[in-house]
Chains A and B, each alone.
Chain A
């Protein structure tokens, strides 16, 4: 066993508080400074002389006058009348005992800061070996390693991030982790070790759903402020180099990014342009054809919030099946759905802009036409009785509820699900998240209404899951999804929740890793949160922090979660029994249009000349 000689001692284990193998106090030597989150090491000796090392994390520090009994005595001490000593003590939560002899440390044992080798032991980095990648910087500027095997599904998978919107910087941290995973080389190291079982960085894919603003549409652009901000942080903390260098990561934006956005509303056959405001180039619109809608059984995802009602579920299932049959029977590769049995009224033909093919079949080209067709089949045919095979004895109320709900989402789904595309367009605008050359796909759904967002997320995740079920886990796909409480609420169910549960419980073995985030973990399905091997907490509401979902945080951390600043997170990982506080660098990629560094480091004149040329 390697004997670790403590460097300069910073204190001694206290004898007036219980010293246990898992928690102990130490008195800080005058002249030393100990702060929360410092990592420390203590060596004690068994009676036979064998050393036992305790590695731990300072989770409480306090100073008080000792030897005086009254609170007002402080005035006498300051007046120079009463001699008193200041006791400066720190509490340590033990993260590791090596060798695993759980004897208590001895009062009087010397305590030192854990550095280098000792730090590795304290954070179990020695166990991670090639799977360690940087998750941020500890308070003293050392790197916190995270075990990739607990992310990629080998030993565990998934990351869950909680925190208040705005100040907790959940998405920023998720992106930082992706940057670290893709650019630290950890995927390649782990792949090399696996002997070809896994693909390296090249096979890694990430899908990010952009739910708020157009924050994520500039991930491929350098951030104009990052150099300044990092220089400030460097000076503020007294580091020698910037935080990216300390972490061993490049200060560069993401590479190989594609941006997908839903199309703007347009008339039948109109131009398909992405519905984004800030970014003018490089955004690909995505649409689903009506045919795919039917063939791919996407109908249930329109009713994500329906849950509950058994009868409605029955109708949805039945219609889904009928539409699937129709689409399957259709022989051409048209985007529209062709039906034979719909003789619409003339005024409806004009209203809906229906058209017919050469055989007289009605060509359903828009989502609203599809709804009209369903209304006809369920409520109008046979003098209002509907088509028996479609109605299946459901009462009118349920059928009306079904069509009413469809009408409710008609407006937002019409641009997304359409039958007026040429086969070429259909191919071009089909969302292609993992088969293409892009490592990172940002799916912008912030412009969509709630049900449409649910529809897109549900359909895309379902496709991803089915693809991975067929192709196995070799490539790892990371899915970043904020607002899990909306997609997988604790109460109620729905098709998206089912998909997310599948990912949480089986995704690990398929290579689908969910990087989920939410304001309140207490409102998210328990099995999704509990399946995450890595838990991250940013600023939390203090009432929320007391809920059982955060019991993995020791009390002192829960109190501190209420005062965390943006850029600081608490991270809990299976290898280290206590959470750790890290800060991570300012994004090297632009998060807003005005942060985009157009100059890319060149002088203004030069760039201007390029434009004029």
Chain B
């Protein structure tokens, strides 16, 4: 009997490795030779890397009646997207950009609502403004869904807004890779043709067939697999993917510990590998070795990158204390029933 450890703490749902088999098509788009590819230096031209992430929080579920007597469910929610702007060569301090919380009152379709302004008793602590947003369905979970979708859209917009464009055909090589967005988690939505790479921390689905998966255990830190063109059977998701090792696995851990999957948007037809994708893959090893965290500082090390952890903390902070916000919402609602109530 041989038992090996999942590297992440047990309270993180799903662990780092689940290794569910993949149902879809994989094509060798870079090279037919299945062997480790060494990391290349980060090109001087790449001046800026944005590490982008988003976070959302449902703050209260509410039942709403509008002035016309229509009623439905809804929820007060907050979301935030933001980025850490850094130089991959370490020439300037990393800084947080665009970390700003937005608030919404997601509500069942067909209601007519005004924005809610929640004023504090203490003028120094600022007001909270909730913009009404209509849900697409009247499902009880629709408010959460709306919040999530809004956040993802904002996140995608942010990461593509920063990134260099990825040329869409073989002849177009005008665009240099000067700015890269590193997005936390899988890429969502449709391809907006930006140099955005998704960093997937966990290996929930094992895309590689068993005969190829053994390479992951053999990768040295910084090395990667060749790039693959991946498409789900239902054709909903098409990506270029590759795996990079960030750190050695300890002998008692699963040999795939310390490996991370990266993905970039890909066209449906597997006929063309944009040079920028290959560039990103080549530099990803060195970039991630630089950004990877350490186990004594982050339980999800090394996959949870140093800037990502800092960004998560900053985003959580920008949404404010959940308890205080909930109290503020309660006071606001109470006041609509009895103006004498304070908080």
Contacts and interface: CB of A to CB of B under 8 A. Distances in A.
Contacts, number: 50
21 contacts: A15-B124, A67-B310, A67-B313, A67-B317, A68-B310, A69-B297, A73-B297, A76-B306, A80-B86, A80-B87, A80-B90, A80-B92, A81-B290, A81-B306, A83-B84, A83-B86, A83-B93, A83-B96, A83-B307, A106-B124, A107-B124
A81 B314 contact: no
B314 A67 contact: yes
Interface in A294-316: none
Given A70-B297, A82-B307, A83-B84, A77 B124 contact: no
B310 A84 contact: yes
Contacts of A79: 90, 290
A423 interface: no
Contacts of B314: 67, 83
A25 to B, nearest CB: 15
Interface residues of A, number: 18
Given A78-B93, A79-B290, 5 more contacts: A67-B310, A77-B94, A80-B92, A82-B307, A83-B95
Contacts of B96: 83
A69 B314 CA distance: 13
A interface secondary structure, majority: loop
A81 B94 contact: yes
Interface centre among B86, B90, B310, B317 (most CB of A within 10 A): B310
A193 B290 CA distance: 75
B291 interface: yes
Interface string A86-119: 0000000000000000000011100000000000
A77 B317 CA distance: 19
Interface string B284-300: 00000011000001000
A441 B151 CA distance: 84
A234 to B, nearest CB: 38
Interface in B53-98: 84, 86-87, 90-96
B interface secondary structure, majority: mixed
A83 B124 contact: no
A76 B297 CA distance: 12
A76 B164 CA distance: 26
B84 to A, nearest CB: 5
B127 to A, nearest CB: 14
B305 to A, nearest CB: 8
Interface string A56-83: 0000000000011110010011111111
Contacts of A107: 124
Given A67-B313, A83-B307, A106-B124, A77 B93 contact: yes
Contacts of B124: 15, 106-108
B297 A82 contact: no
A68 B313 CA distance: 9
A251 B87 CA distance: 58
Contacts of B86: 80-81, 83
A81 B313 contact: no
Nearest to B126: A108
Contacts of B297: 69-70, 73
A64 to B, nearest CB: 15
A70 B309 CA distance: 13
Contact of A82 (B87, B310, B317): B310
Contacts of A83: 84, 86, 93-96, 307, 310-311, 314
Contacts of A108: 124
Interface in B316-342: 317
A108 B94 CA distance: 27
B180 to A, nearest CB: 15
Interface in A422-481: none
Interface centre among B90, B93, B122, B307 (most CB of A within 10 A): B93
B294 to A, nearest CB: 9
A82 B306 contact: yes
A67 B307 CA distance: 12
Contacts of A70: 297
B269 to A, nearest CB: 38
Contacts of A82: 94, 306-307, 310
A148 to B, nearest CB: 43
Nearest to A45: B123
Nearest to B290: A81
Interface centre among A73, A77, A83, A106 (most CB of B within 10 A): A83
Contacts of A15: 124
A575 to B, nearest CB: 33
Interface in B108-149: 122, 124
B93 A80 contact: yes
